[in-house]
Structure 1
Amino acid sequence: MNKQEAVLDVRDVPAKSKWLVLSIQHLFAMFGATILVPFLTGLSPAVALVSSGLGTLAYLLITRGRIPAYLGSSFAFIGPVLAASAAEGVPGAMVGSFMAGLVYGVVALLISIFGMKWLINLLPPVVVGPVIIVIGLGLASTAIDMAMYIPGTENYSATHFSVAFVTLAITIIASIFFKGFFGLIPILIGIIGGYVFGMYQGIVDTTEIAAQWNELTSVTSIGGFFTALFQMPDFVVPYVHYNPLEVINMEIVFLMAPIALVTIAEHIGDQMVLSKVTGRNFLKNPGLNRSILGDGTATIIASMLGGPPNTTYGENIGVLAITRVFSVFVIGGAAVLATVFGFIGMITATIASIPTAVMGGVSILLFGIIASSGLRMLIDNQVDFGEKRNLIISSVILVIGIGGAFIQLSDDIQIAGMALSAFIGVALNLALPGKKKAHGNGNMFQSNAEETEHNKNDDSAA
């Protein structure tokens, strides 16, 4: 890609008249998915927005302002967060997220010392693809329960299911038929459409929104208005709200830490796409070690605040591809806006009023897309299932992960589900002969983007 094809290059500062609008585009692109994860896991959407913004800013800092990536809530951790929360409450999920963030740091350190080859051998497509399928299909029952039942009960509701179905239909229509920027935010469009239909069906509780509005309209001074507008999110901070040493146990570690290996593989894929879109090779400059460290740091920041683990967002990469605006300052602006939005009570109240059925509707599509993306990884890398080793590895991962198998190491330690399937998949791949066959055509970790003059210019400008 020639530099003139970029509307704004990575280090370009946008004009003040356009900066806000360009950043809002990225905010909308990530908004629906980012608030969906805490909604599903029982965490605070406001905290998720704040941790998403702060995590993105930390990522930009660690990568020295060279990678225009936005980080939002990770879907891969929904199951583990639910399991950790069931065992030890929200503090347990946060300790698990912290441990997952440390895995990122360890991997970044190992890449700095030994390069990438060991990681390629550890996580070939034949392992990562099926584990991603397990992540998506393992959440299928959660989506259906949210869509079909009255919240907090096991009572079937035709009304709720109709709202979920309409939400799903709107999301699908937006995904297929909407073009340009609107084609990048089908989740948000689906949530808005489902919300409106849910109001018509009488399942939307707007009590808190009305209370927020009354409080805002009753103030008589500017200072009072800002006091009413901004509210402190429900942060969950270690050593303030809980003692991590009293919460941490090996079960939580085994629940969440292994999932980081899968999200790291997804992270590398995002870096490859970003490299192609911008005409750079981010795996080399600023380096995969910095990129992974930034992702892990964002997850650790989220764990310190009570938010879900973070990861780079494909939706925002899509915005970059369409707009050709690669400026990290635009990404940074979106991160600042997300952080501010987390402190606005009206926004928090609106998010809290979204019916469970609406989220269930979009989840049916999203969780299926997660599973399909694992299948796509296998197809894109042309993994040959005529090879017995590949067929065996993928089959064992799928049945163990989706079937809910677990190993009870002790009364307090259990390795289950996605984590167990990932462990066994890695072990089988390392043990069985013919390891080269696990990589298919080998494109998963190879970027076709060449080093360009952009990198040289960045170095000279640093």
Structure 2
Amino acid sequence: MTQSNEPVLDVKDVPKPAKWLTLSIQHLFAMFGATVLVPFLVGLSPAVALVSSGLGTLAYLLITRGQIPAFLGSSFAFIQPIIIAKAAGGTEAAMLGSFLAGIVYGIVALLISKLGLKWLLRILPPIVVGPVIMVIGLGLAGTAVNMAMYENPGAQELVYSNTHFLVALATLSITIFCSIYLKGIFGLIPILAGIIGGYIIALFAGIVDLSGVKEAPLFQVPEFFIPYVSYTPDFSWGIAAAMVPVAIVTLSEHTGHQMVLSKVVGRNFVEKPGLHRSILGDGVATTIASFIGGPPNTTYGENIGVLAITKVYSVYVIGGAAILAIAFGFIGKITALISSIPPAVMGGVSLLLFGIIASNGLRMLIDNKVDLGNKRNLIISSVILVIGIGGAFVEITDTISLSGMALASIVGIFLNLVLPGREESEGKQELFEENKVA
């Protein structure tokens, strides 16, 4: 282990109680803003998202044998597919799609354990994954702008509001300031800082309704959405087509996070406990979320940043943060407070966040030295971007269609496999580079 990775607390070290609580709270703050933003955008319960995040992280730690200090939170890659699934068949459809995505993780984990990684690298090179990540961010740009500009972005007739837009711009400014000028732990929570600052400004602007916070009980059971209790699952190939291909993208995100985490901690987690275990843990976490009504989970780059700064690699600290997240989900006042955040505030944060997601796709191409002067690479990236952002779709049957990111991913993979010159065009590409999409 190099000196730069010398831990304050190693992976298996147990901190003293007071220090343990403080360190776990740091991780909770790092994940909080992004984790509650996803359910806010797709119309799911933030409280359930916190609980599913905590349960998913604990399951992940168990499956990886307590060897990987990773925290899991709501995945941004699934925002658009969840919106599509909910529009087609309600929340139950979105949960079914999430469950199927989790199953895909399990299948891939099994294949990796038996066949190794080369087949995955062939299917998901940077020339495919990079543009698809750009589609994730740019495809959500309209959502961010609508939330920032209009009084009620979900209404049929949109009403522009200078007040809402100014609140959104103020929120954006605070987020940018914290991201650029704050250092250490505080530099890792610009989303949370932006939401808090924007919320205060929104209070003074008179666009916050606190009646729900006053009426909410201190402790409250979240509105779980459980199969055969809240609804009866009904399989749909259309929902599978909308949700499952997204797992292709998040698998590459997960792998990138494992490589970065390995560098931070100074251990090869891809070899031990193995990438198949970490992918399985991610899939189980997503499956757990689908059983209680939460968004799919993924490993969080923000929490990897906390590890890098603090050099506290203890899985017990991560587990403590997971338990705190579960506890927060049962505090009614916190849930009501999250629900009272105006769309303008979330829109202001999203203006930056969705752009960062798209920029990270571009960064993957640059870091892996993908040559867009090569016609093959140019064709693949161009087709993915236009199909994904343009909203192209293929209607297979009356109930089954491939659209947006799902269609773009499949077309990109197909073009990469069939177009000649793959070996020459890839050059020095490496899939396992840092990827901070959440």
1:231 equivalenced with 2:220 (yes/no): yes
Alignment of 1:66-215 (within 5 A): 66-151=67-152, 152-153=154-155, 154-212=158-216
Aligned residue for 2:229? 240
- Normalising by the residue count of structure 2, what TM-score does the alignment of the two structures yield? 0.97
The 1:76/1:135 distance shift into structure 2, 3 A limit, reads: same
1:160-195, Cα deviation, whole Å (9 max, x unpaired) = 101100000000000000001100000000000000
In angstroms, what is the RMSD of aligned CA positions?
1.1
1:104-127, Cα deviation, whole Å (9 max, x unpaired) = 001001001100000000000000
Determine the C-alpha separation between the residues in 1 that align with 2:177 and 2:428. Answer: 34
Aligned residue for 1:444? 431
Letter of the 1:240 partner, please give it. Answer: V
1:282-330, Cα deviation, whole Å (9 max, x unpaired) = 1000000000000000000000000000000000000000000000000
Q: Is the 8 A contact 2:165 2:344 kept in 1?
A: yes
User: How far does residue 230 in structure 1 lie from its aligned partner after superposition?
Assistant: 1.6
Aligned residue for 2:370? 383
Determine the C-alpha separation between the residues in 2 that align with 1:139 and 1:441. Answer: 31
Determine the C-alpha separation between the residues in 1 that align with 2:115 and 2:131. Answer: 27
The 1:437/1:251 distance shift into structure 2, 3 A limit, reads: farther
1:244-292, Cα deviation, whole Å (9 max, x unpaired) = 1x2x211110101000010000000000000000000110000000000
Of residues 255, 277, 281, the one that matches 2:242 is 255
The 1:438/1:418 distance shift into structure 2, 3 A limit, reads: farther
Aligned residue for 1:2? 2
Q: Is the 8 A contact 1:69 1:312 kept in 2?
A: yes
Determine the C-alpha separation between the residues in 2 that align with 1:364 and 1:438. Answer: 34
Letter of the 1:261 partner, please give it. Answer: I
Determine the C-alpha separation between the residues in 2 that align with 1:73 and 1:51. Answer: 9
Larger Rg: 1
Letter of the 1:404 partner, please give it. Answer: G
Letter of the 2:291 partner, please give it. Answer: M
Determine the C-alpha separation between the residues in 2 that align with 1:98 and 1:441. Answer: 36
Secondary structure in structure 1 of the residue aligned to 2:402 = strand
Aligned residue for 1:323? 310
User: How far does residue 17 in structure 1 lie from its aligned partner after superposition?
Assistant: 2.2
User: How far does residue 242 in structure 1 lie from its aligned partner after superposition?
Assistant: 1.1
Q: Is the 8 A contact 1:51 1:302 kept in 2?
A: yes
User: How far does residue 445 in structure 1 lie from its aligned partner after superposition?
Assistant: 2.9
Determine the C-alpha separation between the residues in 1 that align with 2:425 and 2:337. Answer: 47
Determine the C-alpha separation between the residues in 2 that align with 1:268 and 1:305. Answer: 26
Percent identity of equivalent pairs:
68
Determine the C-alpha separation between the residues in 2 that align with 1:192 and 1:385. Answer: 41
Determine the C-alpha separation between the residues in 2 that align with 1:42 and 1:36. Answer: 10
What 5-or-longer segments of structure 2 have no aligned partner?
none
Determine the C-alpha separation between the residues in 2 that align with 1:391 and 1:97. Answer: 32
Alignment of 1:16-31 (within 5 A): 16-31=17-32
Secondary structure in structure 2 of the residue aligned to 1:415 = strand
Secondary structure in structure 2 of the residue aligned to 1:229 = coil
User: How far does residue 443 in structure 1 lie from its aligned partner after superposition?
Assistant: 2.5
- Normalising by the residue count of structure 1, what TM-score does the alignment of the two structures yield? 0.92
Further displaced range: 150-159 or 278-287: 150-159
Alignment of 1:44-55 (within 5 A): 44-55=45-56
Alignment of 1:48-63 (within 5 A): 48-63=49-64
Secondary structure in structure 1 of the residue aligned to 2:231 = coil
1:68-97, Cα deviation, whole Å (9 max, x unpaired) = 000000000000000000000011000000
Secondary structure in structure 1 of the residue aligned to 2:298 = strand
What 5-or-longer segments of structure 1 have no aligned partner?
213-227, 448-462
